[in-house]
Each structure stands twice: as structure tokens, then as C-alpha cells.
Amino acid sequence: MAKLILDRARCTGCGVCAAACPFGAVTLTGATPDITSACRLCALCLKQCPEGALSIEESSAPAVDKTAWRGILVFGECTDTGLHPVTLELIGKARALAEAAAQPVCCVLIGHGAMPYADALSGYGLAEVLVYDDARYAGFLAHTYADALSDAIDALRPGIVLVGATALGRSLAPRVATRFQTGLTADCTALEIRPNGDLVQIRPAFGGDIMAQILTPNTRPQMATVRYKVMTPATWVDGPPPQLRPMPPPEGRLDGTVLDCVPKPAISSIVDAEMLVVAGRGVRSQKDLSLLQSLADALGGRLAGTRPMVEAGWLPYTDQIGLSGRTVRPRLIITCGVSGAVQFTACMRDSNCIVAINTDRAAPIFKVAHLGLVGDLYQMIPRLLTRLEARQAGDIHGL
């Protein structure tokens, strides 16, 4: 890492550097320049300094013995009804990464009554399952869960740790990354691995305008949270069951007790819907959403929308698909008047069947659609509804 160095013995306090800095990173306190975090290392101040009192110093990154960190550890999130589905998605991706790097995949379960959940992981190619099952894990306390996950990392020393980007995972992962003074990439949508074991963590950045590739080559473990519904779940494989290792709660750590848990009322989510109809900018008014709702009802699905629909107040935030909303993978998704910006397509492109309706045949949505319909949604949706009604009535002549 580079940084700007000031030789105070040579500095005369002329202020030329402060005047030359386009970022306002050099300020004068009396006759003494101060360099702030706004410095972008553009080197303009170096060129302007008449005394040569400024320089850029390169500091070498700390070395890490990558051979001492091996394997992939998946955090299996335990819920009241079983394992969170993102767990199998993480295991599926971990197995693909491990196959390329010839490394084992392990899983850690934390929770009161978590032991029976280990049986559900048999047959998914795991080498080992660590289980922290204790009354102190009844109810989520971030610091006690962080103690357990840190203990598991100390025991296995994995090169990679994957956590689901759920509400629990987003609270847990940063705490553990801080303890190991390592990097954490949040909300990854893709992962790759290099021959030396470096994890390429890919996520949208700058509002989705680019797909950033992030690496943490100088620290271990490499940690990432991964969005639900963006990875393919693990499939059943033949092989020996994973080694089950019950783990005692780590001693000498901060403890705590959950006095009461009030379950959040269950709500239907577009994430779980098998059929989705999506409203985009092509919908002219809020009242026209009833047309799309009729199509969703006829399919037995849900109505969702893009960010403009939510910002206009036409749909709730919970029904938004996109980087600032939800990631979905239904069996069928019909987009109506959706242009197909990367912020949207990144969160629905893995749907089994994508049907796009748009008047603009050059709309980006057609690049990811399996079936594209160029035309006015106000003409096409009524025709679709008529055919669906005929099919439900058994009128083969009306199809």
C-alpha cells in the first residue's frame, strides 16, 4: 500500500502543495501541512513542491502462508424450520470451487437443537460438519455466534469462509472478519478461484454499472457473503457421510442470554414465488398494475416490480427485484415494460424461463430472455389472459 510522506525538515510551509491538490487533501495548520484521508496519490503536490519535501512511499503487504489455510468452510444457518435454503446453495458453489482447487468442503452449524440438522447435510459431498449445539445459542446473539464461528475457523483453518447474505449472516460475518483482520466482500453474485487458492469475489458496484472482482490475497481466511437465490443448490452425490464433530462452546468468551424471542409473522415473499409478473417503466399508471395482477393471478403467481415502480410508490419495497431489492429464481418470470438494466437482470437472470414483453426490440432485457415478445403490453397481456382463460375452461379452439 502506498502513502504520501512529508519530510518536515525540508518543508518551509509555503503552501504550494495545498494549492496544487485538486482534492483538498493537504491542509495548512499554521505553516505545517497536514495530509488527510482525501489524498488520492495523484502526485501533483510532489511535482509542485519547490523543496522536494513530499514523496510517495510503498509499503509491502504482509505475507501470509497460504499453505497453512486450506479448504472451504460454509456457515449453515439454522432456522426454526430447518436449514436455511441458502446453505445448500453455498455448499453447491463451495463444491465447485473445491473441485477446481482440490480442497475439502466443511460446514459449521450453530444453534440450540442444531445437531439433528447435520443429518440433512449427509450426501452432499462434505468432508466434515462441526456442530455447536448449546442452550446459549437459543436465539441469535451476534457475539456468541461470532465466538463459535471463530472457534471453528481456528479448528479447521479454511482458506475460504462462505456465509449467506441473510439478516443473520450480514450481522455475523463482519464481526468474524474483524477478529481475523481479514477482508470481507458482501453480497457476492459470483465466485471464482485461482490456482493459488485466491478467491475472486464478484459483485455489482457503482449502482450495478460494473461487476467488481475483489481479492484478498494477503490475508486468510477469505470471507464472502453470498446472496440467496444466485447460486445453484448442491445436488446429492454418492460417497461417505461427512465426519460429525460436536464442538463444545468456546470458553473464556463473552456470554449472554436471550430472555425472550418474539417470532416475526410469516409473510409471503416474491423470493419464494414460482411464477412472477414484473412491472417496469412501460406501465403507464398505478391503476394499470391491475392488468398485470390479473395475469399473475391467472398463473397462480405474484406481482413484482423494478426500482422505479417502488420509488413511485406503486409497489412496496418487499416486491422489488434488483440489487437494492430481492434476488429471485422462479420457474417462470414475465417482464412487462422492463428495459433490463444490469441492476435488475443480475437478480433474476437464473430464472428457469424468462419471457420479456417490450416495445423496444433493442431493449437489454431480450439478451437474457428465453422468449422475447416485441409489442405493447397493453395489447399482449389481454390476449394472454384470453388464452389462459380458454385453456382453463378446456376450450382448445380458443387457444
Which DSSP letter does residue 265 get?
Answer: P
pTM: 0.77
Residue range(s) in the chain whose domain bears CATH number 3.40.50.1220: 270-398
Fold topology of 2-58: Alpha-Beta Plaits (3.30.70)
Residue range(s) in the chain whose domain bears CATH number 3.40.50.620: 66-246
Point out the least confidently predicted range of 69-73, 145-149, 193-197, 208-212.
208-212
Position 399 scores a pLDDT of 44
The CATH number of domain 66-246, selected from 3.40.50.300, 3.40.190.10, 3.30.70.360, 3.40.50.620 = 3.40.50.620
**Where are any strands of DSSP class E within 320-380?**
332-336, 353-358, 371-374
Assign 255 to helix, strand or coil: coil
d(CA 93, CA 97): 6
The most distant pair of C-alpha atoms in the chain lies apart, rounded to whole Å, by 93
Point out the least confidently predicted range of 35-44, 63-72, 106-115.
35-44
Interacting residues of 199 by C-beta distance below 8 A, sequence separation 6+: 97, 159, 160, 191, 192, 193, 215, 216, 222, 224
Point out the least confidently predicted range of 93-107, 116-130, 195-209, 220-234.
195-209
Residue range(s) in the chain whose domain bears CATH number 3.30.70.20: 2-58
As a whole number, mean pLDDT of residues 253-275 equals 78
HSE-up of 124 (CA within 13 Å, CB side)?
25
Residue with the bigger pLDDT between 34 and 398: it is 34
| pLDDT per residue as tens digits for the range 326-344 | 899 999 999 999 999 988 9
pLDDT at 398 over 60: no
| pLDDT per residue as tens digits for the range 199-222 | 999 998 776 667 889 999 999 999
The mean pLDDT value of the chain amounts to: 91
Interacting residues of 141 by C-beta distance below 8 A, sequence separation 6+: 256, 258
The yes/no answer on whether domain 270-398 falls in CATH 3.30.70.360 is no
> Could you identify the residue written with the cell 458496484?
205
